Amino acid sequence: MSSDIRLAAITDEFSQDLDQALDAMASLGITGVELRTIDGRNIADIDDAGIDRIVERVTARGMTIVSIASPLLKCVLPDAPPLDTRFQQDAFASRHTYDDQPRLAERVFEIAEQSNAPIIRVFSYWRTVEPARCTDRVIEALTWLTREAAQRGRRIGLENEHACNVATAAESAPVLAAIDAPAFGLIWDPANAFVAGEVPYPDGYRLLPVDRIIHVHAKDCDVHGHTPTWGPLGEMSIDWVGQIGALRRDGYRGWISLETHWPGPGGDKLQASLICGRNLKRMVDA
Secondary-structure percent of the chain, ordered helix, strand, coil, rounded to 5: 45, 20, 35
Give the residues across from 278 on adjacent strands: none
52, 145, 281 from 259: Cα distances, Å: 24, 24, 14
Position 64, amino acid: T
The C-alpha atoms of residue 173 and residue 59 are separated, in whole angstroms, by 35
Phi, psi of 20 (to 5 degrees): -65, -40
CATH (domain of 217): 3.20.20.150
Contact between residue 162 and residue 131 where contact means Cβ atoms under 8 Å apart: no
The C-alpha atoms of residue 174 and residue 274 are separated, in whole angstroms, by 36
Among residues 165, 229, 160, the alpha carbon closest in space to that of 200 is found at: 160
pLDDT of residue 152: 98
DSSP class of 71: E
Among residues 200, 205, 122, 206, the alpha carbon closest in space to that of 164 is found at: 122
Per run of 10 residues, the mean pLDDT along the chain (length 286 residues) is: 81 98 98 98 97 98 98 96 89 81 98 98 97 98 98 98 97 98 98 98 98 98 94 98 98 97 96 98 96
The C-alpha atoms of residue 54 and residue 46 are separated, in whole angstroms, by 10
The C-alpha atoms of residue 181 and residue 184 are separated, in whole angstroms, by 5
Residue 106 lies in a domain: yes
Dihedral sign, Cα of residue 30, residue 110, residue 138, residue 184: negative
* Helix 135-151 with 101-115: angle, nearest 10 deg: 40
Give me the number of domains the chain comprises: 1
Dmax over CA atoms of the chain, in Å, equals: 52
pLDDT of residue 215: 98
| N-term to C-term CA, the chain | 6
The C-alpha atoms of residue 124 and residue 145 are separated, in whole angstroms, by 12
Residue 249 lies in a domain: yes
The C-alpha atoms of residue 158 and residue 120 are separated, in whole angstroms, by 8
Residue 98 lies in a domain: yes
Residue 1 lies in a domain: no
Contact between residue 187 and residue 157 where contact means Cβ atoms under 8 Å apart: yes
What is the domain range of residue 178? 6-285
Residue 16 lies in a domain: yes
Which residues lie below 8 Å from residue 191, measured CB to CB, with a gap of 6+? 200, 217, 218, 219, 220, 221, 228, 238, 261
Residue 111 lies in a domain: yes
pTM, entire model: 0.97
63, 106, 133, 174, 264 from 188: Cα distances, Å: 23, 24, 22, 14, 24
pLDDT of residue 138: 98
The C-alpha atoms of residue 125 and residue 165 are separated, in whole angstroms, by 6
